[in-house]
């Protein structure tokens, strides 16, 4: 696997552990439908959460969460629509971003942005 993909998977593992520690139930990791993907789908109490994880090693070009642009948001909301229809899910949903900065093994910063955006 390419080095950048391994790095992204490492970030997803940190995000998954973080959400589990908050009491969230991890339902799916890297859920795919057609050309769309959601990094994590979790249950937070009665809310279904679609989570985008962005991992970077430096902020030279911006914070990790800043790389979730309007195209990515549109793809995430389309993926969520497919998921909700496919599994006939009803109820509260939200979109979160987990921004992870990994400078080295001892220097990891994680920021959880709840309700980061809505179906734009």
Top-confidence residue, 64 or 44: 44
Identify the domain containing residue 36 by its residue range: 3-117
Q: What's the pTM?
A: 0.89
Instruction: Please say whether the beta carbons of 120 and 74 come within 8 A.
Output: yes
pLDDT in tens, 43-63: 999 999 999 999 888 767 777
CATH of the domain at 41: 3.40.1350.10
In the chain, which residue ranges form alpha helices assigned H by DSSP? Answer: 3-21, 70-86
What is the domain count for the chain?
Answer: 1
Q: Rounded CA gap, 95 and 110, in Å?
A: 17
Q: What would the pLDDT profile of 8-25 be if each residue is shown by its tens digit? A: 788 899 999 999 999 999
Kindly indicate the confidence band of residue 7, based on its pLDDT and cuts at 50, 70 and 90. low
CA dihedral over 41, 118, 94, 111, signed as positive or negative: positive
Rounded CA separation 23/17 (Å): 10
């Amino acid at each position: 696997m390419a080095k950048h993909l391994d790095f992204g998977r490492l970030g997803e593992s940190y995000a998954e552990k973080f959400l589990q520690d908050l009491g969230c139930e991890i339902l799916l990791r890297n859920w795919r439908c057609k050309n769309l993907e959601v990094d994590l789908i979790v249950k937070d109490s009665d809310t279904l959460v679609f989570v985008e994880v962005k991992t970077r090693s430096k902020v030279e070009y911006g914070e990790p969460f800043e790389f979730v642009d309007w195209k990515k948001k549109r793809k995430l909301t389309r993926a969520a629509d497919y998921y909700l229809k496919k599994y006939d899910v009803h109820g509260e949903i939200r979109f979160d971003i987990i921004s992870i900065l990994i400078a080295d093994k001892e220097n990891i910063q994680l920021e959880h942005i709840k309700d980061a955006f809505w179906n734009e």
